[in-house]
Structure 1
Amino acid sequence: MRRKFTLILLFVGLFNFVTAQNQQLTLEEIWGGAFRTQTMDVLHSMRNGQQYTVLNYDRATKSASVDKYDYETLEKVETIVSSADLDAINYFSSYTFSEDESKLILATDVESIFRRSTLGIYYTYDIKSKKLDLISNNKIQEPTFSPDASKVAYVFENNIYIKDLQSGEITQVTTDGEKNKIINGVTDWVYEEEFAFVRAFDWNKSGEYLAYIRFDETNVPEFSMDVYGETLYPTQHVFKYPKAGEENSKVSLHTYNLKSSTTKTVDLGDAYYIPRIDWTEDQDVLSIQVINRHQNDLKLYFHNIDGQTEMVLNETDDAYVDITDNLTFLTDNSFIWTSEKDGYNHIYHYNKSGKLVNQITSGPWEVTNYYGYDKKTNRVFYQSVENGSINRDVYSIKLNGKGKTHLSNERGTNRATFSADFSYFINAFSSATTPPKYTLNNSKNGKLIKEIVNNDDLLKKLANYQLSPKEFSTIQVNGNSLNMWMIKPADFDPNKEYPLFMSQYSGPGSQSVSNTWMGTNDYWYQMLAQKGYVVVCVDGRGTGLKGAEFKKVTYKELGKYEVEDQITAAKQLGDLSFIDQDRIGIWGWSYGGFMSTNCILKGNDVFSLAIAVAPVTSWRFYDTVYTERYMRTPQENASGYDDNSPLNYPELLKGDYLLVHGTADDNVHVQNAMRMASALIDANKQFDWAIYPDKNHGIYGGNTRLQLYTKMTNFIYENLGDKANHSQPTTNNN
């Protein structure tokens, strides 16, 4: 007997497609870039706020250039530098201005290390003299100008160096750097991945001091990955990776005096993590954020170069405190800070002693991006979800919390990039019905000045395809109103029964249900809808932008409430007259793979199929910073780790399960898949799996994504087809 339930409609996108056109999507088109959107290149606002620069690449001459444009006219003003005019380099892949914009650092021959870290050959370029100088013959990391552009600090083989650009003299600041032991000035693997930064040094305002973090990872356990390559013997990649409950790097903070060539250690007491350092507007005062291992006790210190260290802010939480880059210092050294302390993420103003001046934003909604403060107009610029948790809008507000101005004009997702003086902003807008478009706007009132880029041609192209609107709604699950979208076949018949395929990620603070234009996976979902599937995504408890309580309910129980929500949602959707209760599948990548694996086990009476790509299968295998933030250590919370680990109940598998992983995944190690496979084999459970040699967490390169999605698509067609009638949907993608 089917139960009835109510879907509360939030928003239904209606595509302006020509219904007479029925062209079918193919995987080759999706992964071949046929539906790629036009975007704007990353731009750098010049100090005057009236001009910006962009890195351009000339395919004809195979040269790179830094070109300057005018905001008001969007016309090119000049070329600052072109590799076509430089004898030493053929092209450069990125550029960085000095603070006074007199010089550039140009990057060449850059290679990735991990997600954010790179090595490269770097040059300085003097704009006035047009002189190009090599910083080092070696591949180095994070070269950074001093404030007066007379020097460059960088890291080579885990040691910090400073080069005097006038004399060419190089000073070695640290000498104890050693691979897999001591790191100076750049972060270790777990800081890079989870605290999202690489450069761990910073110049003070006068350029007299350099502050840096030192990582002693001697006692951090090593992880090794086989690299198969194309040679006769595989090799091994060995690096330090602290898994939950294991030892982390011992970190310490130091200041180096360039005049005296002396180094001092900053006493931070029992600081466990140092996730941020930043010099304040006072050239002698360094701000330091430290947090305990549980990540629920965050302290902000001000350290005076004369040796005095004072705690100015202490934020605690029963669960955890997030680290952000939102700390901004005003000229009087008061500062702007974001916090969830009232239950929602908002903006606060503190004086230089850490006393609260006022809460700038407030309400039962989240600030999702802090853009900055304009001292001329005394206004703060930010993005929030106050127009609905699936939307993003841009606002400004006075420092005292008054005079709020709504700067974005269209309902959907708005993201702003402001000029240096906050005169203008470029708004990147999209919605479920409107592909990305970029406009130049006045920052005072949001008024449109002109459109820069649109994707009208893509809309015209898509008019030839049989696509369906993404219907947004909420579904009442386990006492909560959860955001949801649904895609039905274009020829949907409410009197028929369709297989249901669910997509989700579900990680803490994440969001998968948002009013934005289609990503690549959305075209895949449209393709499945064309083949007769209903595709749904539900953001359950633990996801973001609906307040701290909703997000942090999963604390110490990752995979419990999120799985309960997906199972309950699937049951309720299965009660709809047009859903076949016997054909419900779910998939996910990374955290989503952890979820889909748990769902087909704990929800084996609901889900008949699951696909898990690069899944965590036990949080005991994942890193300290991420895992312990949400789970504490395994020593403290063994049941939280084990009760929600699919490794501990493989015997529950009844449906069709596809397990996918890359062997070179330095993030979620292939160990997770291997252990899951072993558990299923020991339980005598049949499953399908695919291992991608030398592929990382993204599993891409060449035809890899096309091959992967072909495999997953065929797995769905073969196992969620109408088994009773033995008539699966067919695909042209072999």
Structure 2
Amino acid sequence: MKKYTFCLLLVGSMAFAQKLTIEETVTGGRKFAVQTQTAQQWRKNSKSIAYLSPDYSNLMTKSAANSWKETLLVTKTDFENAVKSKITSDEFALKTFPFAIEWKSETTFETEVAGKNNNYKVTYDIVSKQISNVTSYTSEGEQARFAPNGNVSWLKENNIKITTPTGTVIDVTNDSDKGIVNGSDYVHRQEFGIDRGMWWNEAGTQLAYYRKDETMVGNYPIINWNEREAVNKDIKYPMAGMTSENVTLVVFDVTTGKKVTIQTGEPKEQYLTMVSWEPTGKNIFIGILNREQNHLKFNKYDAQTGAFIKTLFEEKASTWVEPQHAITFVPNNPTQFIYQTDFNGFNQMYLYTTDGKLLKNLGYKDVVVKDFLGFDAKNTKINYLGTANNGLDLQLYQVDLKSGATTQLTTVSGMHRASVSSDGTMVLDQYSNVTTPNEISIIDIKSKKTSQLVKAANPFTGKIDMPKMELVTITSADGKTPLNGRLIYPSNYDATKKYPVMVYVYGGSHAQLVNNRWLGGGGYFDYYMAQQGYVVFTLDNRGSDSRGKKFCDVTHRNLGVNEMADQMEGVKFLKSKSFVDQDRIGVFGWSYGGFMTTSLMTSQAETFKVGVAGGPVIDWKYYEIMYGERYMDTPQENPEGYAKASLLDKVKNLKGRLLIIHGAQDPVVAQQHSMNFIEASIKAGKQVDYFLYPNHEHNVGGKDRIHMYAKIADYFDVHLKK
């Protein structure tokens, strides 16, 4: 017999009759936002924090010197006037105070502002109220990267330009063929932690950049239906098992104009990841991952000649290797760096030398590092956010580089977003859990004394009756692994009644739906459906995020199999509850969740009576190379796995009512998936409902999202609730 554990939460007061409206399933996040301090951070070299006022018009501060009382630091008007005074050649109209600021000292910060003609990076002094160190580039530019010496690189379509401090614009590349893409972050479809396509060395004299050649990749049509005559926009979409893009790394010298291509070798169809300059600028490091994604070489190259120097280390796996983070050099020590990997089970940190010698494992228990926060003032310790409580919690940790000893700096169970002051004496801690909407405090690390800054009230009190919710633990299908689940009861719950169920599912990697945070990680639509009389259930099956590599590896070459097996354990749990109507269970999911929904509707047809699948993957051979081949290998290598995961021949098993929703311009899960499924359903004599959202890509946003949720709710009401 399975064992189930519970954490009970009653959100709000049941003394009121109000419910969320369908509009509030989309707008509720703003309307019922909890009290907070927006964009809060430590001011450098001080015992004070800065954040934005509730209307985003002023920069506020609190400090230990005045017992953490709120005072005004800078107004939007002051800042805007300083910008206009310094930059007279452009026009500015700031709607809010800048959100993204970086403190350079206690009294100065850097930020970016947009003018009518150009974009600017400026330094502002809060004492003199003056702007200095202005760096600019045209407002037509994209993906700008700033160098310390004032150079800024930016993209114009598929080419790179550099604006120097004197205003000179340098053409780095001049490729007329749009199939050659330079400097873009959209390389390898942004897998492998790729978030940029250009890297300056520390001196700002050389720029490394991706050069992506996708001329050999077939064109894929995306139709815009808004024109008088529909217009086709071709994109490059390399499908699993087919020809992929070729990527190289080039180094450009600003002074000489010389370009050097790093000699990353053959085969051309490989992935270049973890690009990092050595602080001296002499060498550059690249992770070379083979197309099979099971062998990583971390290589060192001469940045001046492009020559290969050595492989520092390698990682091989029978499943996959998935680098996600560039290395981080230890400040003031160009011979040591931090490397993150899940190779030994959990994503953790390791201290290496630039010769490839492993100095220390900095990991702690089964903690998964989620956010590297940087070093302390003496550069002897690292602060980071990591998991706890089987992935339900996020806590702040500090590890000593010399001893490897780890200290947990936050302790209250929940999801923490926290940071350490630059002098290393205090923690700015913000957290929520299932009973705490939001709490912000300052913690003295030595004395453990806490100064509370914000304790948010329940934003629903007196406004909305929110149903009760439980976090539950369910054993996986292999009988070994605890899985995290969330159960939301219907409003006005009566234990003597039987209720229909909506299972909300995702199930794929890099996603986690259940957390020990406010509302348990549930969305407003989940709670809306509970208010309409449904039991709403979500389970993070094996294959999802924050539980380590082994937890995810079970999906290899067989996507959907173990995920569905775990979801059915969730169904067993539901059926064990007397208030669940076993004949009225439905499922809803998007993207990977759409794949899971359609899989469950066709493989567990006796269980699921209604399904709504948004943007579903129907056959993995139609999905892109970088993600698809990591988990499934190629269709040529794994024909059995692709056949088992394909839903085109499974539609014949469908018995319930299934609604497929797709964005008509989806470049992620191409509409080909759902269209082929509809064609297969026609041939199988099965009735499947189909709805397209024109002018939307993979997700439906804006006001149209309200329409989408209304359609989903109505579909469940018509076919499951009656």
Q: TM-score, normalised by structure 2?
A: 0.88
Within a 5 Å distance, the mapping from 1:2-81 to structure 2 comes to 5-15=1-11, 17-33=12-28, 34-43=31-40, 47-48=44-45, 67=59, 69=61, 72=64, 73=68, 75-78=71-74
Q: Deviations over 1:494-542 (max 9, x none)?
A: 4432222211110024322221123895333333333332221122221
User: Is 1:348–2:350 an aligned residue pair?
Assistant: yes
Within a 5 Å distance, the mapping from 1:173-572 to structure 2 comes to 173-176=172-175, 178-179=177-178, 181-188=179-186, 190-192=188-190, 194-229=191-226, 231-270=227-266, 272-307=270-305, 308=307, 309-325=309-325, 327-330=327-330, 331-332=332-333, 333-374=335-376, 376=378, 378-400=380-402, 402-419=404-421, 422=424, 424-442=426-444, 447-452=449-454, 454-456=455-457, 458-461=459-462, 464-480=464-480, 481-518=482-519, 522-572=523-573
**CA distance in structure 2 between the aligned counterparts of 1:652 and 1:673, rounded to whole angstroms:** 17
Distance 1:36 1:227, change over 3 A: farther
Instruction: For 1:204, give the aligned amino acid.
Output: N
**CA distance in structure 1 between the aligned counterparts of 2:632 and 2:569, rounded to whole angstroms:** 24
**CA distance in structure 2 between the aligned counterparts of 1:277 and 1:327, rounded to whole angstroms:** 8
Distance 1:303 1:644, change over 3 A: same
2:585 is paired with a residue whose SS is strand
Instruction: For 1:539, give the aligned amino acid.
Output: D
Greater alpha carbon shift after TM alignment, 93-102 vs 268-277: 93-102
Q: Deviations over 1:164-194 (max 9, x none)?
A: 223x222212222532x111111336433x2
Distance 1:95 1:486, change over 3 A: closer
**CA distance in structure 1 between the aligned counterparts of 2:653 and 2:447, rounded to whole angstroms:** 58
Q: Deviations over 1:251-288 (max 9, x none)?
A: 11121222322111111223711123121233322222
What is the aligned partner in structure 2 of residue 154 from structure 1? 154
Shift of 1:567: 2.9
What is the aligned partner in structure 1 of residue 679 from structure 2? 678
Ranges in structure 2 where 5+ consecutive residues have no aligned partner: 85-89
Q: Deviations over 1:539-586 (max 9, x none)?
A: 222123333222101111111111222234324532443322211111
Distance 1:42 1:191, change over 3 A: farther
Shift of 1:642: 2.1
Distance 1:206 1:68, change over 3 A: farther
**CA distance in structure 1 between the aligned counterparts of 2:171 and 2:641, rounded to whole angstroms:** 47
1:577 is paired with a residue whose SS is coil
**CA distance in structure 1 between the aligned counterparts of 2:476 and 2:249, rounded to whole angstroms:** 49
**CA distance in structure 1 between the aligned counterparts of 2:405 and 2:534, rounded to whole angstroms:** 48
2:468 is paired with a residue whose SS is coil
Contact 2:288-2:297 at 8 Å conserved across structures:
yes
2:459 is paired with a residue whose SS is helix
Instruction: For 1:325, give the aligned amino acid.
Output: H
**CA distance in structure 1 between the aligned counterparts of 2:53 and 2:233, rounded to whole angstroms:** 35
What is the aligned partner in structure 1 of residue 87 from structure 2? none
2:712 is paired with a residue whose SS is helix
What is the aligned partner in structure 1 of residue 702 from structure 2? 701
What is the aligned partner in structure 1 of residue 714 from structure 2? 714
Instruction: For 1:184, give the aligned amino acid.
Output: N
Q: Deviations over 1:624-661 (max 9, x none)?
A: 11111111112211221221111121111100111111
Distance 1:587 1:415, change over 3 A: same
Contact 2:37-2:52 at 8 Å conserved across structures:
no
Shift of 1:50: 5.4
Instruction: For 1:323, give the aligned amino acid.
Output: P
Distance 1:573 1:198, change over 3 A: closer
Greater alpha carbon shift after TM alignment, 436-445 vs 495-504: 436-445
Shift of 1:8: 2.4
Contact 2:41-2:50 at 8 Å conserved across structures:
yes
2:681 is paired with a residue whose SS is helix
User: Is 1:90–2:86 an aligned residue pair?
Assistant: no
Distance 1:238 1:76, change over 3 A: farther
What is the aligned partner in structure 1 of residue 586 from structure 2? 585
Distance 1:104 1:577, change over 3 A: closer
**CA distance in structure 2 between the aligned counterparts of 1:320 and 1:171, rounded to whole angstroms:** 41
Q: Deviations over 1:293-348 (max 9, x none)?
A: 12222222222334352221212222112222362211332111222222222222
**CA distance in structure 2 between the aligned counterparts of 1:675 and 1:713, rounded to whole angstroms:** 25
Distance 1:408 1:266, change over 3 A: same
Distance 1:124 1:404, change over 3 A: closer
**CA distance in structure 2 between the aligned counterparts of 1:446 and 1:312, rounded to whole angstroms:** 42
**CA distance in structure 1 between the aligned counterparts of 2:203 and 2:133, rounded to whole angstroms:** 25
1:289 is paired with a residue whose SS is strand
1:362 is paired with a residue whose SS is coil
Distance 1:477 1:105, change over 3 A: same
Shift of 1:47: 4.9
Shift of 1:68: 7.3
**CA distance in structure 1 between the aligned counterparts of 2:198 and 2:604, rounded to whole angstroms:** 49
**CA distance in structure 1 between the aligned counterparts of 2:614 and 2:702, rounded to whole angstroms:** 16
Q: Deviations over 1:92-147 (max 9, x none)?
A: 777676989786542357xxxxxxxxxx9523446587479794556111222222
**CA distance in structure 1 between the aligned counterparts of 2:208 and 2:290, rounded to whole angstroms:** 21
Instruction: For 2:505, give the aligned amino acid.
Output: Q
**CA distance in structure 2 between the aligned counterparts of 1:286 and 1:68, rounded to whole angstroms:** 41
Contact 1:189-1:241 at 8 Å conserved across structures:
no
Q: TM-score, normalised by structure 1?
A: 0.87
Distance 1:459 1:411, change over 3 A: farther
**CA distance in structure 1 between the aligned counterparts of 2:7 and 2:586, rounded to whole angstroms:** 25
**CA distance in structure 1 between the aligned counterparts of 2:374 and 2:329, rounded to whole angstroms:** 10
2:249 is paired with a residue whose SS is strand
Within a 5 Å distance, the mapping from 1:554-703 to structure 2 comes to 554-702=555-703
**CA distance in structure 2 between the aligned counterparts of 1:451 and 1:632, rounded to whole angstroms:** 51
Q: Deviations over 1:225-249 (max 9, x none)?
A: 11122x4222222221212122222
Contact 1:571-1:606 at 8 Å conserved across structures:
no
Ranges in structure 1 where 5+ consecutive residues have no aligned partner: 110-119, 722-727, 729-734
Instruction: For 2:113, give the aligned amino acid.
Output: L
Identity %: 29
**CA distance in structure 2 between the aligned counterparts of 1:644 and 1:174, rounded to whole angstroms:** 43
Shift of 1:83: 3.5
Root-mean-square deviation (CA, aligned residues, Å) is 3.0
Distance 1:446 1:366, change over 3 A: farther
**CA distance in structure 1 between the aligned counterparts of 2:569 and 2:145, rounded to whole angstroms:** 52
1:657 is paired with a residue whose SS is strand
Contact 2:621-2:642 at 8 Å conserved across structures:
yes
**CA distance in structure 2 between the aligned counterparts of 1:273 and 1:208, rounded to whole angstroms:** 26
Q: Deviations over 1:176-219 (max 9, x none)?
A: 2532x111111336433x24545311111122221112111111
2:235 is paired with a residue whose SS is strand
Within a 5 Å distance, the mapping from 1:100-179 to structure 2 comes to 104-107=111-114, 121-125=118-122, 127=124, 130=131, 135-137=136-138, 139-149=140-150, 151-166=151-166, 168-176=167-175, 178-179=177-178
**CA distance in structure 2 between the aligned counterparts of 1:121 and 1:558, rounded to whole angstroms:** 47
Count of residues paired in the alignment? 694
Instruction: For 1:592, give the aligned amino acid.
Output: G
Greater alpha carbon shift after TM alignment, 630-639 vs 518-527: 518-527
Contact 2:275-2:326 at 8 Å conserved across structures:
no
Contact 2:289-2:297 at 8 Å conserved across structures:
yes
**CA distance in structure 1 between the aligned counterparts of 2:459 and 2:63, rounded to whole angstroms:** 26
Instruction: For 1:162, give the aligned amino acid.
Output: I
